[in-house]
Amino acid sequence: MGPLAWGAWSITPYNLEKKLKTPYSNDEEAGICGYAAPPRLKDEVYMNNPTRYFFRIAVAALLLCSTGPLFALQDVIGEIVYFDGDVKVIRDTDTLTGQVDFGFPVENFDQIQVGPGGIAEVALYPETGLSSSITIQSDSTLYFDITSLRQDQQGTVELLTGAVNLKVNKMAANSRLQVRTSSAVMGVRGTTFDVVTAVNGDILLATQEGLVACETRGGEIFFSEPGRVVQAEQGVWSEVPVAVSSLEQFQRDWNAQRIQALEANAGRAIQNFAGIYLDLREDFINAYVSIMQNRSIIQKWIQEDRAGTLGSTMDQMREKRQVVGSLLAMRRVLAQWERVYYRVVELRDYLQGNGGVVIRRGMSATQFYRQVQEEQELLAGRMQEVRYILKLYAKRNEGRSPVDVFENDGVSSEDDFFDDPESFF
């Protein structure tokens, strides 16, 4: 399949693979743990086998090399106490499907995907200082930035798509649990609430018990409590009074209205989110390449993780100083890129009848989604790798990962679309 023209330039899946793949230097040809480096493959082999990249090679080799306890130093934060339907857990660089069961342990930076008609409930352990119940609804994806290595923490549920319900039971004195969406953070201490994200980017915060503070990317703060919801509609945030007795019906109507509006304006939605995707995609690739400048440190961390060990205190301090800048830059990109990536994947269901929509000069919606399909596995794998690196960093930093992702200067976001007065809603 030939390259697709994107404006004044073009790219093929191999070009993307080549840019994301960190090549072996001459002194690295011995490979990892003494194993020979994989042979350089022809372009068409890369295109047909996009999963043959650094991390899968590294992890596979290190599994063979490791002589230590494989499961030592796990940062287990809770367990799955209930699930039904299609539930996947993505851990490090692996997708765990058949292993998911009642009592399945959940680790820091695990991503959980719940398919259509499914549901999953995760109970956070008291050791985290964030004893809570988190119910992940149908068609939802999230991951955790929560540690069991310290009780005083600001734990985060990164909601990428769909809806989640939180019931906070007991928290340590200086702890905070928050849900992060594309354009706001909902912070709580003791309460029960729902966060719903629509495919078009709208957000609903509904509270059944307690008080939830919602801080937007623009610095505005709104509060939700029984009788009052917070919503973002076309990028505009507001508090809306809703009778407690009719809250469930309000949520159902809210979802139905957005589905109807999306069906009527799907072409416009695809056009706008595709444009954001293309901008952020380049930012993500550049941030990933920057992280891989510290490939030797990352290899060392993977090897230690497989062996169930950590380096010396001095080594950890030196290594963290060397990689933290690139990880912070990645978090700022990732905060928007991940969510836009999954939005674009969701909108693919609306491509029929909208394939001729112009995304950019010389590129139709059909061409855009052909490119998305070709690079989807590769980009998803890179995001898994980044989460694994963040997890390895956190293990060497008392469970804390590099943030603040809302300090996002220079990165495109969904807010750019909502600033458009001709938005499709």
Q: Which domain holds residue 145?
A: 76-264
Q: Which letter does DSSP use for residue 78 in this model?
A: E
Residues 345 and 276 in one domain: yes
Give the residue from 243, 264, 285 where a domain finishes.
264
Give the residue from 216, 236, 264 where a domain finishes.
264
Q: Residue 12: which residues within 8 A CB-CB, separation 6 or more?
A: 1, 2, 3, 4, 47
Please name which of 96, 133, 131 lies closest in space to residue 113, comparing C-alpha atoms. 96
Please name which of 159, 143, 247 lies closest in space to residue 198, comparing C-alpha atoms. 159
Residues 151 and 277 in one domain: no
Q: What is the pLDDT of residue 221?
A: 96
Element (H, E) at 423: none
Residues 308 and 338 in one domain: yes
CA torsion 170-176-181-184 (nearest 10°) is 130
Q: What is the pLDDT of residue 170?
A: 85
What predicted TM-score, i.e. pTM, was given to this entire model? 0.80
Residues 155 and 200 in one domain: yes
Residues 274 and 165 in one domain: no
7 part of a folded domain: no
Q: What is the pLDDT of residue 329?
A: 96
Residues 57 and 83 in one domain: no
349 part of a folded domain: yes
Q: What is the pLDDT of residue 173?
A: 82
Please name which of 305, 241, 322 lies closest in space to residue 93, comparing C-alpha atoms. 305
Q: Are 162 and 137 in contact (CB under 8 A)?
A: yes
Residues 147 and 278 in one domain: no
Torsion angles phi and psi, residue 364, rounded to 5: -95, 170
Residues 194 and 283 in one domain: no
The CA distance from 100 to 89, in Å, is 7
102 part of a folded domain: yes
The domain that holds 197 is classified in CATH as 2.60.120.1440
Q: What is the mean pLDDT of each run of 10 residues along the chain (425 residues)?
A: 32 47 38 32 34 44 41 80 97 90 97 97 95 97 94 92 94 89 87 94 95 94 97 95 96 96 94 96 97 96 94 96 96 95 96 95 96 96 97 95 55 35 31
Sign for the pseudo-dihedral over CA of 99, 397, 323, 415 = positive
168 part of a folded domain: yes
